[in-house]
Chains A and B, each alone.
Chain A
Amino acid sequence: MRNIASWGRLDSYPHQAVTLDDPRHVASKIAASNLPGLAHGMGRSYGDVCLNPGGTLWMTTGLDHLVAFDEANGRLICEPGVLLRDIQRAFIPRGWMLPVTPGTQLITVGGAIANDVHGKNHHVFGSFGDHVKRIRLLRTDGEIIECGPEMSADWFSATVGGLGLTGVIVEAELQLRRVESPWLQTETLPYADLDAFFDLSDASEASWEHTVAWIDCMRGEHQRGLFMRGNPAPADVEHPAMPKGKKSTMPVVPVSLVNRWSLPPFNTAYYTLKRWKAGAAVEHYEPFLYPLDNLREWNRMYGPNGFYQYQSLVPRAIGRDAVQAMLKEIARSGEGSFLAVLKTFGNRSAPGILSFPQPGVTLALDFPNHGERTHTLFARLDAIVREAKGRLYPAKDARMPRDLFESGYPRLAEFMQYRDSGISSALSRRLMGS
């Protein structure tokens, strides 16, 4: 048994870890598991979707080979443990890249499909699953299901965003998109309050591919922030020197560096500095899209008790009021962190039965784990999300109440038919009863 924690570092639990590194032996290793198992990639999910305490984890990062690429149409076939970073680095110089990536590229293809992750360009490209053309799914009884948007589409829509519960993805075919350069033309615009954020967002969606905003969660009213937008740059763009990609590692710290005393001055300093440097720029895709990837193990900054991320999504019609109400509660509690992100989702339907994205506005915030105090705040936020008929993102969640999951994901019963009885996770036991 090996102790394994998820990215939130709330706790670590003993797991029977089984290394998958040879595609020929995957089926036999999975069949040999006597405990319910779960595929586990980089463990970058914040909560418990990637954990299976007391059970088996099939570790997929050894399944990291690219299988084939069609240069004419941009189709890539790969194993599930390939990192998004490796795809970006191999193909951007050749004029192709992943259409959708989240705020870190240090995740596996399998994890990206299972959580149907989204990025800053949702209003243009949708979520990760929108660009998956085929999945080879291995059920724990040995059956292989090839599925895609046009074949076994029911299995496909269950597996995309299916939280790893429909089987183990053993191969995927992805559609890449054309890019001319690794650079983005970006703009940073300070905004004074939520109305200004929504105005900027609406005005940007038609002509900007990437839009996202940082928000100062410490202010109950007039939440100031920074709106960032970007477009892929043409090949002949004048650009600064390539980033050196210098990496540093966050040390283990005895207490959370993020707390009610450090947060207000940090936010003010960050806002002031960024406002001073606001305006147009040309940025390399790595720092723009994956700002935290150069600080290895940044999750340690929340200290030994770990942290939660709370990512909600509420419909657009009442989005402003609901976000305002949540931010008020957060400011009043003094909890929160400087990693607070606000983004509007495009008006499109997601590919998976349990996919998180839907039209609306999403707010994501980290919270250092302060036990009861944090949970009291979450209960208040839950009430707002529930009333707004919104939902929380399972990939980030470690604590949502079951009724909120059920009301947020009305197609849950439909999904349950596709579950694999040999697979279970901490999240599935918490929210689906098994």
Chain B
Amino acid sequence: MRHIVIVGATSAIATHCARLWAAQACVFTLVGRDREKLDRLAADIKVRNPQSTLHIETLDFSDVGAIQQSVAAIAVRATVDIALIAHGALPDQSACQDDLYQCSEALHINGISPVLFAEAFAQSMTRKNHGTLALIGSVAGDRGRKSNYVYGAAKGLVTRYAQGLQHRFAASNVKIVLIKPGPTDTPMTAHMKDAGMKFAPVEMVAAQCVAAIEQGRPVAYVPGKWWLIMQVIRHLPAFVFNKMNI
């Protein structure tokens, strides 16, 4: 059975990925902050596939030592076939501008913490020369915009980090996958629907994430149309871009 580790497992995209993987019996290690939420997901996966095995790890995502120890312990339990690092929180941009503490917290949870998990998994994958390490970035990381550059900058860090890991593992069997979802219909974005924004259904996004991870694609925009949209956004000259209210 494959050993799949999901960090931030109770996020909507990760939950749906886990359900898709559970179509085949797997060993899952679900990592999160909230024990009860993880128990709820573990029960759901176990009902969907009684052959699956579930482990739960809780830790403080800002505790560097805990990340190091926890990932090492997970890798000792069983060789990691897939690690999906999916945690994050959409911050309120204007609150981050007014309050450096909130800004710092948003940068940590969306940027520093995911790359530390990635580095920790990279260590164990280097030793085994095996595994796929997937990170959830965001289209927001492709160019800073006034409406959410704090989140975008953190996701930009994840993007650069994934690039570096891809370079480092280019000659090995380890695959690094960076997924960049567009706006997705999840509880994290529910409040934005009131503004009339359109979102991709989370199960479609999850299905494309799983496909990208299975194929070991270096970068996957989901849904795929966001590749084209972000090409345009990234290449707009500043004098045009700066006039846009996005």
Contacts and interface: CB of A to CB of B under 8 A. Distances in A.
Interface residues of A, number: 19
A401 interface: no
Interface residues of B, number: 15
Nearest to B45: A66
A66 B48 contact: yes
Contacts of A69: 47, 50
Contacts of B12: 62
Contacts of A68: 43, 47
B205 to A, nearest CB: 15
A21 B187 contact: yes
Interface of B: 12, 36-37, 40-41, 43-44, 47-48, 50, 187, 190, 193-194, 196
Interface string A60-89: 001001111101000010000000000000
B225 to A, nearest CB: 14
A67 B47 contact: yes
Contacts of A2: 193-194
B41 A1 contact: no
A19 B40 contact: no
Nearest to B190: A19
A291 interface: no
B39 to A, nearest CB: 10
Contacts of B36: 24
B245 to A, nearest CB: 21
A22 interface: yes
B187 A62 contact: yes
Interface in A1-46: 1-3, 17, 19, 21-24
A21 B11 CA distance: 11
5 contacts: A3-B196, A17-B193, A62-B12, A66-B48, A71-B50
Question: Which of B37, B40, B47 neighbours the largest number of chain A CB atoms within 10 Å of its CB?
Answer: B47
A66 B43 CA distance: 7
Interface of A: 1-3, 17, 19, 21-24, 59, 62, 65-69, 71, 76, 90
A65 B42 CA distance: 10
B41 A65 contact: yes
A67 B43 contact: yes
Contacts of B190: 17, 19, 59
Nearest to B34: A22
Given A19-B187, A21-B187, A24-B36, A65 B193 contact: no
Given A17-B190, A17-B194, A21-B187, A90 B40 contact: no
Contacts of A65: 40-41, 43-44
A1 B187 contact: no
Q: Which of A1, A19, A68, A76 has the most B CB atoms < 10 Å from its CB?
A: A19
A1 B194 contact: yes
B194 A90 contact: no
A66 B15 CA distance: 12
A90 B47 CA distance: 9
A175 to B, nearest CB: 15
A228 B165 CA distance: 58
Given A2-B193, A17-B193, A66 B187 contact: no
Nearest to B37: A22
A35 to B, nearest CB: 15
Nearest to A67: B43
B45 to A, nearest CB: 9
Contacts of A71: 50
Given A17-B193, A17-B194, 20 more contacts: A1-B194, A17-B190, A19-B187, A19-B190, A24-B36, A62-B12, A62-B187, A65-B40, A65-B43, A65-B44, A66-B43, A66-B44, A66-B47, A67-B44, A67-B47, A68-B43, A69-B50, A71-B50, A76-B47, A90-B48
A100 B99 CA distance: 54
Q: Ordered nearest first, which 6 A-B pairs have the shortest CB separation?
A: A66-B47, A65-B44, A19-B190, A21-B187, A2-B194, A69-B47
Nearest to B187: A21
Nearest to B196: A3
A303 to B, nearest CB: 20
Nearest to A21: B187
